[in-house]
Amino acid sequence: MSVSEDTQQLLTEIKRLREELAIKEKHLHDLQTEPCNCKYLENNDFTTDEIIRYSRQMIMPQVQIDGQARLKRGKILIIGAGGLGCPAALYLTSAGVGEITLVDYDEVELSNLHRQILHSENDINIPKVQSASDKLKNINNNVRVIPLKVHADSNTLSRIIQDDKYDVVLDCSDNVATRYLVNDVCVMNDIPLVSGSALQMEGQLTVYHHNSGPCYRCLFPVPPPPHTVTNCGDGGVLGPIPGVIGVLQALEALKILVQLPDVLSGRLLLFDGSTTTFRNIKLRPRNEKCEVCGVNPTITKLIDYEQFCGASAHDKVVNIDIITFAEQTDVKDFPQDLQNNIVIDVRPELEYKMCSLPGTFNFPYSLIIKDCDKVRKFVESKVQDGVTDIYFLCRRGNDSQRAMLYMKENINFEAVQYHNIKGGLHAYSKYIDPSFPVY
Amino acid sequence: MPVTVNILFFAQARELAGKSEAEFTIETPIAYSDLVKRIVDEFSLTELQDHLILALNSDWVWDQEILNLKPADEIAVIPPLSGG
């Protein structure tokens, strides 16, 4: 039996065993949580086990049995089951919120695991909402967890909001278009929105549309130009950064449900992990001229948010095709002879240091367009050595096209042909050698 | 009269400015729009100029405001962060 057949058989068996385990656990839970009418409890909303489980928060004067009952009646909608959604959902489930709906269209990838703490190695390629809800049910089966594997857009989200009455929404998404969408949905349905975001070493947190506070559009009426927005896939993020922000989103949601004062509305929390500092910025009040939450709103129905932002409502990179067909080289024709051909890898230096193909040269795209003298001299010397073909390479084959076009316009040698390795290192890993890491 | 204030950069502003804080000498009093223009010109933030919050000593700055700056005041430049 080959290794892959072996792996496949094991995966299938593990899946079957998991399903069997889930059925038995559900059965056990049902037996253990049958209504007890316990004569010691004044409030029959809770079982003996629930009192024990939540006792550490219920004995706080801020929560008490009434606060816990509010949590149990509470319904929360979480948009995104990633770096923010995982820790947020974890604490909300543990705290005993009645119902938690998770919305995410994506599947678990290996590169998610350093920060998306509900997913494990065995969950690769399964829907994030499924993986997350399995773990959450294991932690607290009293909570009704509803996984919705769907892309949040104007149509799907209005249906989801109409189907249930949510007390709080958590924006744990990863892109600008979804942030405007979720904001407008919350304003139109009068639901407080706990909004968190994280990138690299920084996080932001605030609560929109709560107690007459401002909404996202009051602060940022115009979306930023797409090219100024960095996503986690390109900029990177250190796991505990969304961890901190996601946990604080859970805290604010619990405060709203329990009806505690001093919710983070009208204030913006800035977390800087590089210096481990928190700052609270006092925000403006609601903008009476706001297009969605103002006195005379002009946006009263959901719009096309991808069009509004000029960007897709996800954080995946959209591949470009800006050079001619003849200039594209299939990765299967990757040059073997690196004497007469040279390969220029245009990724940032730190990515090149992390992993690279032997015999290639690193000239980052950002440096090529800033100062092309270095690469010009390099190419000149290679041309003198008899090089006739120069191949451009990067992570996905996009920046390499940009670099190639720039070189064509600015550093053209008659004796040299420029080529782009189509699909970049992702394609190399897929078609040539899977041991090259896809990141 | 010129004063020297501290500018703090967050998120994309930090990336474009290439630093997380800077001292900056500027005239006072100054109108919000002039302050934004001086900062975005000085620190290569033109692309973000319509997409940021300015906070003076942690308080929101209104777009019609005339600011009376004092030495060592902190001005935070905050564009939205959208990753997650």
Class in CATH terms, B2-72: alpha beta
- ipTM, two decimals, is 0.97
Residue with tokens 């009455």: A165
Measured CA to CA, the distance from residue A399 to residue A420 in angstroms comes to: 10
Predicted confidence (pLDDT) per residue in A141-150, tens digit: 999 999 999 9
Tokens of A278: 């928190």
Other C-beta atoms closer than 10 Å to the C-beta of A97 total: 28
- The pLDDT of residue A45 is 83
- Evaluate whether residue A74 is within a structural domain: yes
Residues A83 and A117 reside in one and the same domain: yes
* Surface of A (223-262) touching B: CB under 8 A: 223-225, 227-232, 235, 237, 242
Residue contact A197–B10, C-beta within 8 A: no
Write out chain B's pLDDT in tens, 84 residues: 899 999 999 999 999 999 999 999 999 999 999 999 999 999 999 999 999 999 999 999 999 999 999 999 999 999 999 998
Measured CA to CA, the distance from residue A224 to residue A311 in angstroms comes to: 10
Indicate the domain borders of chain B. Answer: 2-72
- The pLDDT of residue A36 is 61
* Domain stops at, among A253, A283, A309: A309
B32 touches chain A (CB under 8 A): no
Q: Which one of A172, A281, A282 has the shortest CB-CB distance to B84?
A: A172
Residues A69 and A155 reside in one and the same domain: yes
B19 touches chain A (CB under 8 A): no
Mention every residue, 6+ apart, whose C-beta is less than 8 A from residue A39: none
- Evaluate whether residue A87 is within a structural domain: yes
- The pLDDT of residue A7 is 86
Q: What one-character DSSP code corresponds to residue A210?
A: S
CA distances (Å), origin A195, targets A120, A215, A395 = 25, 10, 31
Other C-beta atoms closer than 10 Å to the C-beta of B57 total: 16
Tokens of B78: 């905050």
Beta strands in A161-290 (DSSP E): 168-171, 193-199, 202-208, 267-272, 277-282
Burial A123-141 (b: 16+ CB within 10 A, else e): beeebbbbbbbbbbbeebb
Query: Do A170 and A85 form a contact (C-beta atoms < 8 A)?
Result: yes
Q: Where does the pLDDT of residue A315 fall: very low under 50, low under 70, confident under 90, or very high at 90 and above?
A: confident
Predicted confidence (pLDDT) per residue in A207-217, tens digit: 999 999 999 99
Predicted confidence (pLDDT) per residue in A168-179, tens digit: 999 999 999 999
Mutate to test the interface with A, among B48, B56, B82 (most CBs of A within 10 A): B82
Does position A1 have pLDDT exceeding 80, yes or no? no
Helical ranges in A259-326 per DSSP H? 305-309
Mutate to test the interface with A, among B19, B51, B81 (most CBs of A within 10 A): B81
In this prediction, residues A68-85 reach a mean pLDDT of 98
Residues A168 and A250 reside in one and the same domain: yes
- The pLDDT of residue A117 is 98
| Cα-Cα-Cα-Cα dihedral sign, residues A168, A171, A176, A182 | negative
Residues A331 and A288 reside in one and the same domain: no
Tokens of A60: 């706080």
Q: Is A309 annotated as a binding residue?
A: no
Other C-beta atoms closer than 10 Å to the C-beta of A164 total: 11
Q: Which one of B51, B76, B83 has the shortest CB-CB distance to A231?
A: B83
Measured CA to CA, the distance from residue A345 to residue A49 in angstroms comes to: 60
Mention every residue, 6+ apart, whose C-beta is less than 8 A from residue B64: B32
- The pLDDT of residue A293 is 97
Q: Where does the pLDDT of residue A196 fall: very low under 50, low under 70, confident under 90, or very high at 90 and above?
A: very high
Q: Pick the more confident residue, A22 or A283.
A: A283
Q: Count the helix, strand and coil residues of chain A and give each as a percent rounded to the nearest 5.
A: 45, 15, 40
Question: Mapping DSSP to helix (H, G, I), strand (E, B) and coil, where does residue A225 land?
Answer: coil
Number of domains in chain A: 2
Per the prediction, chain A carries an average pLDDT of: 94
- The pLDDT of residue A34 is 66
> Which value, in Å, is the radius of gyration of the alpha carbons in chain B?
12
Residues A117 and A145 reside in one and the same domain: yes
β-pairing, B74-78 with B2-9? parallel
Residue A419 sits in a domain whose CATH number is 3.40.250.10
Burial A418-427 (b: 16+ CB within 10 A, else e): bbbbbbbbbb
Predicted confidence (pLDDT) per residue in A34-46, tens digit: 666 678 877 678 9
Residues A193 and A103 reside in one and the same domain: yes
Q: Measured between CA atoms, how close is A414 to chain B, in angstroms? A: 37
Residues A197 and A105 reside in one and the same domain: yes
User: Residue A196's beta-bridge partner residues?
Assistant: A205
Predicted confidence (pLDDT) per residue in A400-427, tens digit: 999 999 999 998 888 899 999 999 999 9
Residues A300 and A331 reside in one and the same domain: no
Enclosing domain of residue A371: 325-431
Q: Measured between CA atoms, how close is A188 to chain B, in angstroms? A: 21
* Active-site residue, A38 included: no
% of chain A surpassing 70 pLDDT: 98
Q: Is A86 annotated as a binding residue?
A: no
Predicted confidence (pLDDT) per residue in A332-386, tens digit: 999 998 888 999 999 999 999 999 999 999 999 999 998 889 999 999 999 999 9
Residue with tokens 């700052």: A279
